[in-house]
Structures are given as structure tokens and as C-alpha cells.
Amino acid sequence: MVDKVKMVVAILLVAAGIAAFYYFSGSPAIVRLASVLAGLGAGAAVMWTTEPGKRFYVYSHESVAETKKVVWPTRKETLQTTGIVFAFVVIMALFLWLVDASLLWAVKKLIGQGDS
């Protein structure tokens, strides 16, 4: 129950930051931005003290660790793959253009407009 109350407070803090953005509409942009960031920061701080917030924190750290384990392609592999995809797109575009032109010709023949 305490976590639910904290989550509601966190949401209200974020909403207060957004409301302050509109309340200070005549103020400089930096003040408006600071109000939104303050609301987001306060909401995040309150959310971090909840059990779901703590689980999310652990999850995010595990996600970063998993991302570091990924074997990213080299520049050469990336360029080769991009070239293959580009060539396939060009070939497919030509094929679809040919099919479209053929179907247009066939329909014109069927309705009698291609006799000229």
C-alpha cells in the first residue's frame, strides 16, 4: 500500500512539473525547462524508493551489462550488409515496376484502350 501511495506522489510530482511549465508561460524558457526537470527528478527520486522502482533499477543495470556482451558488427560487415540491402531494394523496385507496367498493359488490352 505504501508503494502505491509513493507511485501516486511520483506521478503528481511529474504532473506538477508539467503544470509549472504552463504556469510560467511568460518566464524564460530555462525556467520552464527547469520546472519540468525538477518535477521529473522529484518524481524519479520518489519512484526509486518503491519496490517496482528498485526492480527497475536492477533491471536497467542488467540490461546495460547484457548490451556490453553483444558482439557488434565491424564497419566492413555493416557496409556489406547495407550494400546488399540497397541492391535488393533496387532489384525489387525494378521487378515491381515491371509487374505494374505489365498489368497496366494487360488491363488496357482487356478494356480495348491498347489498340493504337
Type of residue at 83: G
Does the predicted model carry a pTM greater than 0.75? no
- CA 38 – CA 36 distance, rounded (Å): 5
Sign of the alpha-carbon dihedral angle for 70, 75, 79, 84 = negative
Q: What is the largest CA-CA distance in the chain?
A: 82
List per-residue pLDDT tens for the chain, 116 residues long. 888 899 999 999 999 999 999 999 888 999 999 999 999 999 999 999 999 889 989 999 999 999 999 998 999 999 999 999 999 999 999 999 999 999 999 999 999 886 65
